[in-house]
Amino acid sequence: MTTKLPIDRMIDTKNGTISREIFVSPEFHREELEKLFTRAWLFIGHESQIPNPGDFFVSRMGEESVILCRDTKGAVHVFLNSCRHRGMKVCRYESGNTSLFVCPYHSWSYTTDGKLQGVPLYRVLYEGQLDRNEWSLIETPKLHIYKGTVWASWDAEAPDFMTYLGDAVDHLDQVLDCRDGRPGGSEVIGIHKWILPTNWKFAAENFLGDTYHNPSHRSVDMIGIGPSARAGQTGRRDNEYNKGQHVWASFPAGHGVHSVWMPEDFEYQPSYAQYPLVDEYFRHCFEERKKRLGDKARIMPFTGNLFPNTSYHGRQPRGLCVWHPHSATETEAWRFFLVDADAPAEVKDVLRRFYMRYSGPAGMTEQDDMENWLYATKASTGTIARRYPFNYQQSMGAYKHNDPIPGDVSTQITEQNARNYYDVYAKYLKGDGWASLLGTGDAVRAAAE
């Protein structure tokens, strides 16, 4: 499990420098696929996409196609989308319902629980040799469903998902829970898939807590595209966080979030001007949520990234993004848009329209991110450029532990989340054990605390 890459020299978070090599070199890309994407918990999809027995949704894990499937008995599986005989994709539809996955190549067929069922001319050609039970579709050894979201890992030794998530759960909950604080209850209303000529980590880092990039969204802030923009309000979203303390929190397993810690007596900020029904819905949800969650309601989500490549927007807009590496310099981005499943139709309609004008390749806000990531990647591939590391020295040391919320928490804009993320990234590439990857076996950290 050792690597020849000089990782410690390239990722020097004590001095706040990180080599451009990790963003552009094919060697790092290969190492990531071998050592990181084969172990970390990855986001696969949402139960609302596969409500019925036999439903499937084709997703990705790193560079590979996988099938998320609810078998005919109702159990959920994640399979590698590749026939055990010659590797053909057994499913090239994006979603649907089936009782069998039939390989187009030689017609081997698999049931929805992954078992090899049909082998043409079995008796003549394979009898006594091929044991069907040993040639099921390759299934992830680890799968966990949390509030509708499905996660999987290829590492049988991986810790359970909730341990992996750690204290970041309080922030993910703000994305997945109903706006009125009831647990779960979200649904996916649509998915964007697009290709970015960039390294996937630029995107992950952007959501991890890089609030410093705000100036690149000046154009939307000037003209106003938020839910109240039709009423003349500028800015790209409503001011839901008025009087809140912005916090940037990082966690030992590599997750990082930007949330807002609201004051004890915070009140609903009028939002969705022009849509009284929607404003009323969110006002109602706000009050209900405060009653249900008590002190925890003070956490309001902004953005975050769950290690390694699942990012989220918590409220305006609301959804999960996955950054799938194609190569060192190309990424396939998938965004899953979320709403409360039982929200009124008008609420869903206003939200989806806002999501579309904000997010993704047609989104007025995120287009500028994509421009940044593309040219940051391109301008870092050169021989001279690669000799000079990126600077990660922002707000060095300016954080407290578990104050006011769990995690290493900064109350000023910081690159601490990124420094922590790349520390964990380095551990994966060095092949560390799970105790180290989760930060529980980190002697330095323990001593510091």
Provide the token pair at 85: 């005989």
Judged by CB under 8 A, the stretch of 127-135, 191-199, 379-387, 425-433 that binds another protein is 191-199
How wide is the angle at C-alpha 27 spanned by C-alphas 23 and 30, nearest 5°?
A: 95
Query: Binding to another protein by residue 48, rule CB under 8 A?
Result: no
Provide the token pair at 232: 């003349």
Cβ 193 to another protein shortest distance, Å: 4
Choosing from 14, 86, 353, 401, the residue that interacts with another protein (CB under 8 A) is 353
Query: Binding to another protein by residue 216, rule CB under 8 A?
Result: yes
Q: Whole-angstrom Cα distance, residue 294 to residue 165?
A: 22
Cβ 114 to another protein shortest distance, Å: 20
Judged by CB under 8 A, the stretch of 103-111, 283-291, 353-361, 441-449 that binds another protein is 353-361
Site size with another protein, rule: CB under 8 A: 42
Q: How far lies 311's CA from each of 192, 265, 303, 408, 447, in Å? A: 14, 30, 7, 19, 31
Cβ 357 to another protein shortest distance, Å: 6
Choosing from 364, 396, 431, 434, the residue that interacts with another protein (CB under 8 A) is 364
Residue (of 331, 91, 58, 295) closest to 194 by Cα position: 331
Query: Binding to another protein by residue 96, rule CB under 8 A?
Result: yes
Cβ 122 to another protein shortest distance, Å: 26
The DSSP code for 339 is E
How wide is the angle at C-alpha 114 spanned by C-alphas 113 and 117, nearest 5°?
A: 105
Residue (of 296, 229, 298, 43) closest to 147 by Cα position: 43
Judged by CB under 8 A, the stretch of 142-150, 159-167, 355-363, 415-423 that binds another protein is 355-363
Choosing from 302, 355, 421, 422, the residue that interacts with another protein (CB under 8 A) is 355
Q: Whole-angstrom Cα distance, residue 344 to residue 353?
A: 15
Question: According to CB under 8 A, which residues from 290 to 349 bind another protein?
Answer: 332, 337
> Beta strand pairing status for 390-391 and 330-340?
unpaired
* Residue placing its CB nearer to another protein in the complex, 223 or 385: 223
Cβ 197 to another protein shortest distance, Å: 6
The DSSP code for 31 is H
Q: Whole-angstrom Cα distance, residue 4 to residue 319?
A: 38
Other CB atoms within 10 Å distance of the CB of residue 234: 13
Choosing from 42, 119, 172, 229, the residue that interacts with another protein (CB under 8 A) is 229
Residue 335 contacts residue 175 (beta carbons within 8 Å): no
Cβ 290 to another protein shortest distance, Å: 30
Choosing from 184, 190, 406, 431, the residue that interacts with another protein (CB under 8 A) is 190
Residue (of 323, 349, 352, 350) closest to 337 by Cα position: 352
* Residue placing its CB nearer to another protein in the complex, 234 or 412: 234
C-alpha 355, offset from chain centre: 17
Question: According to CB under 8 A, which residues from 196 to 215 bind another protein?
Answer: 196-198
Helix 26-35 vs helix 416-429: angle between axes, to the nearest 10 degrees? 80
Query: Binding to another protein by residue 121, rule CB under 8 A?
Result: no
Choosing from 214, 219, 234, 402, the residue that interacts with another protein (CB under 8 A) is 219
Provide the token pair at 139: 């299934």
Choosing from 95, 239, 394, 440, the residue that interacts with another protein (CB under 8 A) is 95
Choosing from 8, 94, 127, 342, the residue that interacts with another protein (CB under 8 A) is 94
Query: Binding to another protein by residue 54, rule CB under 8 A?
Result: no
Judged by CB under 8 A, the stretch of 9-17, 32-40, 136-144, 371-379 that binds another protein is 371-379
Q: Whole-angstrom Cα distance, residue 322 to residue 33?
A: 15
* φ, ψ for residue 276, nearest 5 deg: -55, -35
Contacts of 350 (CB under 8 A, 6+ apart): 227, 272, 275, 278
Choosing from 194, 342, 385, 400, the residue that interacts with another protein (CB under 8 A) is 194
Cβ 18 to another protein shortest distance, Å: 24
Q: Using CB under 8 A as the criterion, which residues of the chain lie in contact with another protein when the complex forms?
A: 92-96, 189-198, 216, 218-220, 222-225, 229-230, 332, 337, 352-353, 355-357, 361-362, 364, 367-368, 370-372, 374-375
